[in-house]
Structure 1
Amino acid sequence: MDTLLTPITHALASVLAGAHSLATDLGLASGSASAWLLAIAAVVVTVRSLMLPLVVRGVRDSHARAKARPQLLALQERYKGTRDPERLQRMRAEQKKIHAEHGVSTWGIAPMLLQLPLLLALYRVISDVTAGQGVGALDAGLVASATSASVLGLHLSSRLGSAFAASPSAGLVLVAVVVLSALLSFATQRWFALPMMDPTGQPELMVQVQQWMPLVGAVGVLVSAAFVPAGLIVYWCLSNLWTFVQQGLVWRFAPTPGSPAALRRTGTTARA
């Protein structure tokens, strides 16, 4: 896996090194926390921008599936309980026809899978740098510069326990970033993701699980933050901020048909 990710990690390391160089050209002190924070933000923007076509594809596919859902539910009801091979084959043929009619992709999970190499490579770069290891264009000098940069005593390589041990102010800064990241995760799921899910035809247990997902995601961020360096937490926070804005735009302008978000938008449009 490391060998497969090497070209991607080196490309991302070049972006990080180039963004730091640009930050210093803009007047920020070389090796300063602000320069490295800007560099991390540049990497997040680069990666998430590259993933936008996959996001658009995913939104289109969710719309197609939502439009096909009523016909698929009716089909399942019509063939409910059948075990006859011939009837089951007929049902699959009709299902395939409905998918083709609405443009439902048979590779619905592909966009998510294609994102994984980029996300894993980005995680590896940030993790290696905050651990003091060089990656591609990030040589020993740049890595030392990144790990020595600090805000109120908080370094990119600091962990929650060591941050409080070094300075209460550093620990509080890190806690604030962790809490902000968790809140962004919760708000994204609660305000934008849940309202775009149509519970029609779903088992009650599945609906209940979906209701718990915002809290589970936020708790996951809080727990994980105790074991990773500050640089990764900063990356999480910036990435969660991007996701919050991105999902908010989808919720506002392209909600899933039949979902509460779509009904809300239709009602708003009707009153306008």
Structure 2
Amino acid sequence: MDTILGPLYTVVSWIIVQFHSLYSLVFDKDSGWAWGLSIVSLVVLIRIALIPLFVKQIKATRNMQVLQPKMKAIQERYKNDKQRQSEEMMKLYKETGTNPLSSCLPILAQSPFFLALYQVLNKIANDQAVGVMGQDLVQSARSAHIFGAPIASKFMDSAAKVESLNASLTNVHVVTVIMIVLMSASQFFTQRQLMTKNVDLTVKTPFMQQQKMLMYVFPIMFAVFGINFPVGVLVYWLTTNVWTMGQQMYIIQRNPTPGSIAYQQRQERLRAKGKLKEDPAKAEVRQAVEEARAKRQQPKRQTKSQRQSATAQGAAKSPGTPQPEEESRPVDTETKQAGENRPKQAGGASAAGTPKSGQRKGRQRPKHPTKK
């Protein structure tokens, strides 16, 4: 591996030495601040160089989400013919310009730098010159501590090895455990943010299940492998996780996936600022709904005495209770006389066919003829 990655050792060590020379103007050259910030700066430099690949990763991930229903249909259609299934998949990728490996480009691109840094720190821990770092720089890096833990120490190191680096095993364990927890938590939050805010919820695909599984797998992997990483490598990986989390938050806020929760929130922000042109019909409907909500009044809570008073008033106004207006209504004299002078028919009804129950109060009912 040294033969293959030898040139990369030189590149990584040269970058670290240049940043170390810069930070030595402010901090002690043998301090953990100078060497730790050099590693952080290495991460920032690599991630800036990988921004174009990250943009390709975002586009590839979105294209894969859109193609999932078509891919599932192809798998169902040619489930008994694997060769034809692969051919149709490749045809679909070619037609849409999608590369499934694009989503892994940032991780693949920075993996060689990660391995090179891992080996550089291992050689520093073993007091070996590496790349452009001579013995004097190696001794300076070995004596550098980050919160009491040497940058070349690991969680699994023996007490004798840690003492040779002028540190205690307890400090190394505490620092490495805290960094591993932060590293795993940042990875989990980054993946969860992607799943909850930047995924089209209108389409249920196997891709969503895969992403949900990775949300739990990656933190566990970091926790398992982290105990074998030197403190300097943990600084590198924690920094790149925080960078990825911040970069993803920026992308989700500015350019979210259509149909996702983040996309709806962005549309609402643009609409509130007046930067989003809305369909007039939808705007009228939304305005009518908002006006109806504004006019709607919630019923006021009444005390027991108020409820009893309202019940008594309702009983007083029931249909069976005579109203004062009806009782004081004057009787039409002419109508009364006309009703008395009408010829009487059998059954007690008037000639006009007016029923008995329909006569007003104050009128005299016709008398039935007396049988002799």
TM-score under structure 2 length normalisation:
0.59
Asked if 1:13 is matched to 2:13, the reply is yes
Q: Which amino acid aligns with 1:139?
A: G
Matches of 2:50 and 2:185 in 1, distance apart?
23
Letter of the structure 1 residue corresponding to residue 52 of structure 2: P
Instruction: Tell me the distance in 1 between the aligned counterparts of 2:128 and 2:261.
Output: 47
Q: Which residue of 2 aligns with 1:28?
A: 27
Paired with 2:126 and 2:262, the residues of 1 have a C-alpha distance of 43
Which residues in structure 2 correspond to 1:190-201 (within 5 Å)? Answer: 190-192=192-194, 195-198=197-200, 200-201=203-204
- The yes-or-no answer on 1:246 pairing with 2:240 is no
Is 239-248 or 151-160 further displaced after alignment? 151-160
RMSD, aligned α-carbons:
3.6
Of residues 134-143 and 216-225 in structure 1, the stretch that sits farther from structure 2 once superposed is: 216-225
Q: Is the 8 A contact 2:154 2:172 kept in 1?
A: no
For the 8 Å contact 1:66–1:258, the answer to whether it is kept is: no
In structure 1, the gaps of 5 or more residues are none
Task: Report the counterpart of residue 134 of structure 2 in structure 1.
Answer: 139
When the two structures are aligned, how many residues end up with a matched partner? 263
Distance 1:172 1:266 in 2: 45
- Asked if the contact 1:33–1:150 (Cα under 8 Å) also holds between the matched residues in 2, the reply is yes
Q: What residue in structure 1 maps to residue 46 of structure 2?
A: 47
The answer as to whether partners of 1:193 and 1:247 remain within 8 angstroms in 2 is no
Q: 1:269 to 1:132 in 2, by over 3 A?
A: farther
Give the secondary structure class of the aligned counterpart of 2:132.
coil
Partner of 1:220: 221
The one-letter amino acid of 2:211's match is: Q
Equivalent residue letter for 2:46:
V
Counterpart-to-counterpart distance in 2, 1:42 and 1:146: 16
Could you tell me the percent identity over the aligned residues? 29
Partner of 1:202: 205
User: What amino acid does structure 2 have at the position aligned with 1:177?
Assistant: M
Which is richer in helix? Answer: 1
The aligned amino acid for 2:47 is: R
Normalised by the length of structure 1, the TM-score is: 0.78
Structure 2 unaligned regions, length at least 5: 274-372
Match of residue 173, structure 2, among 158, 171, 174: 171
TM-aligned CA distance change 1:41 to 1:89, over 3 Å: closer
Could you say which structure has the greater relative contact order, defined with CA pairs below 8 angstroms and 6 or more residues apart? 1
Matches of 1:221 and 1:93, distance apart in 2:
33
Structure whose alpha-carbon radius of gyration is higher: 2
Match of 2:257 in 1: 256
